[in-house]
């Protein structure tokens, strides 16, 4: 093939494997399986080592705690189980879960004294339903298709971004 433009638009760079951030993300794969990936940054690892002591850090096992929420009252955790992982693992599939349930996970370490120390908490996701819904309430509505309203998201114009960031930080 003739290369018309041989220069490298990627500037010879490649993707890093890690980004130096603390992150635990859960994604749904199907009604019975979730995928989760994570990254624990070096500074976080260092501070954990300092907090727990070298011996506890060395003997600690990486674990994923999988929380299943109540079907009806999603804010309540109904049960959980732990998965023990090899130290260098950075992603995992969680099979054999229940369909139509909200889950979230925590990544942490099981210390030699048996204590589980959660370090990161994931987003929550609901697994898909795998059958007809048991809810058979019927409510019908005539949609109003005449109103052709279109919205566009815009910044709150009267606030400068530094102000917004301050407000966000305060909320967190």
Partner 1 sequence: MAQGFLSLILHAHLPYVRHPEHQYSLEEKWLYEALTECYIPILIALEIMKNDGVNFRLTFSLSPTLLAMMEDPLLRERYARYLERLQNLARLEEERTAGDTDFAPLARLYREHFDAAAGYYHRFGGRLVNAFRSLAEENLIEVITSASTHAYLPLLQVQPESVYAQAANAVQYYTALFGEPPRGIWLPECAYYQGLENYLGELGVQYFITATHGVLYASPRPKYGVYSPILTPAGVAAFGRDPETSKQVWSSQEGYPGDYDYREFYRDIAYDLPLDYIGPHLHPPGMRSDSGIKYYRITRAGLAYKEPYRPEQAREKAAQHAGNFMFNREQQVKYLASIMGRPPIVVSPYDAELFGHWWFEGPQWLEYLCRKIAYDQGDVKMITPGEYLDLGYPLQLCTPNPSSWGDKGHNEVWLNGTNDWIYRHLHRAAEEMIGLATEHPAAEGLLKRALNQAARELFLAQSSDWPFIMSSGTMVEYAHRRITGHLVRFRVLSRQIRGGAIDEGWLKRLEETDNLYPHIDYRLFQSLETTVPREMSVV
Task: Report the nearest approach of partner 1 to the CB of residue 89 (Å).
Answer: 13
C-alpha radius of gyration, the chain, whole number: 23
Using CB under 8 A as the binding rule, whether residue 141 contacts partner 1 is answered as yes
The backbone region for 11, taken as left when phi is positive above 0, alpha when psi lies in -120 to 50, beta otherwise, is left
Q: From the list 14, 72, 87, 170, which residue makes contact with partner 1 (rule: CB under 8 A)? A: 14
Size of the site for partner 1 (CB under 8 A): 60
Using CB under 8 A as the binding rule, whether residue 5 contacts partner 1 is answered as yes
Task: Report the nearest approach of partner 1 to the CB of residue 15 (Å).
Answer: 5
Using CB under 8 A as the binding rule, whether residue 156 contacts partner 1 is answered as yes
Compose the 40-79 pattern: x for residues touching partner 1 by CB under 8 A, - for all others.
----------------------------------------
Residue 113 has which token pair? 């004294």
Tell me which H or E stretch contains 85.
strand 77-85
Using CB under 8 A as the binding rule, whether residue 148 contacts partner 1 is answered as yes
Which residues of this chain interact with partner 1, rule CB under 8 A? 1-7, 9-11, 13-15, 19, 21, 25, 27-31, 35, 37, 39, 91, 123, 125-126, 128-145, 148-156, 159, 161, 164-165, 168
């Amino acid at each position: 093939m003739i290369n018309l433009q041989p220069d490298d638009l990627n500037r010879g760079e490649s993707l890093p494997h890690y980004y130096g951030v603390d992150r635990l993300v859960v994604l749904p794969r199907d009604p019975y399986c979730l995928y989760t990936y994570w990254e624990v940054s070096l500074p976080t690892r260092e501070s954990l080592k300092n907090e727990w002591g070298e011996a506890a850090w060395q003997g600690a096992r990486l674990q994923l705690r999988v929380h299943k929420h109540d079907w009806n009252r999603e804010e309540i955790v109904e049960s959980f189980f732990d998965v023990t992982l090899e130290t260098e693992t950075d992603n995992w599939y969680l099979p054999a879960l229940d369909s139509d349930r909200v889950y979230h996970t925590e990544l942490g370490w099981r210390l030699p004294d048996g204590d589980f120390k959660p370090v990161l908490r994931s987003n929550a996701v609901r697994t898909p339903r795998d059958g007809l819904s048991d809810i058979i309430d019927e409510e019908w509505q005539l949609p109003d298709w005449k109103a052709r309203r279109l919205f566009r998201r815009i910044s709150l114009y009267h606030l400068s971004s530094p102000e917004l960031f301050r407000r966000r930080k305060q909320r967190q």
